[in-house]
Amino acid sequence: MDKRYYLTTAIDYVNGAPHIGHAYEKILSDVIVRHYRQRLDDVYFLTGVDEHGIKIQKTAAEKGMTPQQMCDENSSKFKQAWKALDVDYDQFIRTTDKYHTEVVQRIFDKLLKQGDIYKNSYEGLYCPGCESFLNPKDLTEDGLCPIHHKKPELVSEENYFFKLSKYKDSLIKYIKENPSFIVPQFRANEVLNQLENLDDFSVSRAKESVEWGIPVLGDEDQVIYVWIDALSNYITALGWDVDKSSEKFDKYWSEVHHVIGKDILKFHCIYWGAILMALGLPLPKQLLVHGFININQEKMSKTLGNVIAPVDILNAWNLEKPDAFRYYMACAASSGKDGNYSDEDFKEKVNADLANSTGNLLNRTLSMLVKYFNGEIKSEFVVNSDLYKTALGKVQIVKNHFDNYEISEAGAEIMDLVNITNKYVTDNAPWTLAKEDKMTECGQVLVTVLNVMTVVCSLLYPFCPNIALDMASQLSFDLNTKLDDLNCNNIKPGKFIEKESIHPVFLRLDSELADKKK
């Protein structure tokens, strides 16, 4: 592993409030970041919002607000949502930030002066939802945008264009020579196919069409379009400028990993890649491309009325902490594939994994330690177990899954370790050993389980930080331990726990115990 790690999410468009799709990406990113913080000393996490464009201009007008007022209001909603979901970012960038807007203007001016941007008249099919011109062959049979299912508008205006044709061959060469650039790899062929048919793309809009944007220096009739405005946030956030770098940029850019949805892969790989080449900057180290989240196996849409706000899920299930939702969402889809949310599946999975398997295993083991030994660990209980090899082997497997951005698969391995440990308890039956007065053997089984649970606790932390902290407290385990330093020698002889300190780390959903009044 490299010593530094820089992860960015896509910046969300603020013409509406955050929904479960936004939450999926941010939770996924936060889980990745928390994992790498367990391995590295220097990790930087950027997220933010995209605040310019025609949709914001129109929506604000409909609400009787200025675009800036609406951006301020909705940006705060995104921040509040990520706080509720324990998304622990280092920086939140807004594309209306003064430094960002000034650097974007200088980027545009630099590309214009060096001949990578030129002005030209253009007529094409424009989708306001995508904020992009569409190729007729990309439309559905009914002539609709394949994403927004609306007929694009025929737009004719004079704009500035970026010379993508100049960088096509270099991009194709880079993608082919760097198979780990796009994850999962099957998305690379999709990009290569798109590159064959793409032309130079518009990087400005006429101000008479879009007023709410960053003006082009020296041409007040044009505003800078999203591809340069929004995409540049990844470098402006680090303090980069056209005539100078920055300490933060020099430190992190070589280790940048973009987390994006599959619908914006083209823009991040092709448009952003070409812009970076034109600026003389290295391409991102990796693009992690995730799928969509469906609701009850149906695509989320306002028309169907199945758009869900993440905070509403926490409230509906009466969850004071977001761990259950974080765990479910992070495990909702295998790498790059679409996932699904349903209330029934959510309840079933978190009850099975967090309450029944993990929480109950810890609770009953500690309870037996109190019942049979008054919460005390005796020196003869501390022995080496074959189960420890399995537990530490799982640590390496989980690390490998994260290195390949297989987050759902990593979660499955953690639960497999929990299930193996539950089977160990059943097979060794400490309650029977106690009944037969084999107290040393009984104590050895309990200590073995508690040592493995410190490993489970550490591996589970990125998914469920609050549950893991609660587990660590009951296990007297230092959760700051780096993954490379994990061992199964954490439970020491002496007084370990009092009965009053034992409590479930996660209550089953829809049980009478989940009522906070009881």
Helix (H, G, I), strand (E, B) or coil at 433: helix
- The closest alpha carbon to 292, from 260, 330, 339, 329, belongs to 339
**Rounded-to-integer distance, Cα 464 and Cα 472, Å:** 12
Catalytic residue among 71, 145, 442, 464: 145
Q: Which two tokens stand for residue 395?
A: 């640590």
Cβ-based burial of 177 (10 A; exposed 0-12, middle 13-18, buried ≥19):
exposed
Q: From CA 185, how far away is CA 207, in angstroms rounded?
A: 40
Question: Does 145 participate in catalysis according to the annotation?
Answer: yes
Catalytic residue, chosen from 299, 347, 349, 438, is 299
389 catalytic per annotation: no
Query: Active-site residue 299, yes or no?
Result: yes
Q: Is 19 a catalytic residue?
A: yes
Choose the catalytic residue: 35, 100, 127, 321: 127
385 Cβ contact list (under 8 Å, min separation 6): 444, 448, 451, 488
* Bridge partners (DSSP) listed for residue 340: 294
Cis bond before residue 18 (omega within 30° of 0): no
Concerning whether 457 is annotated as a catalytic residue, the answer is no
CA 504 – CA 364 distance, rounded (Å): 9
From the list 71, 130, 442, 488, the catalytic residue is 130
503 is catalytic: no
β-bridge mates for residue 91, sequence order: 46
CA-CA distances (angstroms) from residue 193 to 134, 181, 198, 212? Answer: 16, 16, 9, 33
H helices present in 378-437, as ranges: 386-403, 407-428, 430-435
Q: Which of 148, 150, 173, 371 is catalytic?
A: 148
Q: Which of 113, 302, 517, 518 is catalytic?
A: 302
148 is catalytic: yes
Look up 401 and say whether it is catalytic. no
Catalytic residue IDs: 19, 22, 127, 130, 145, 148, 299, 302
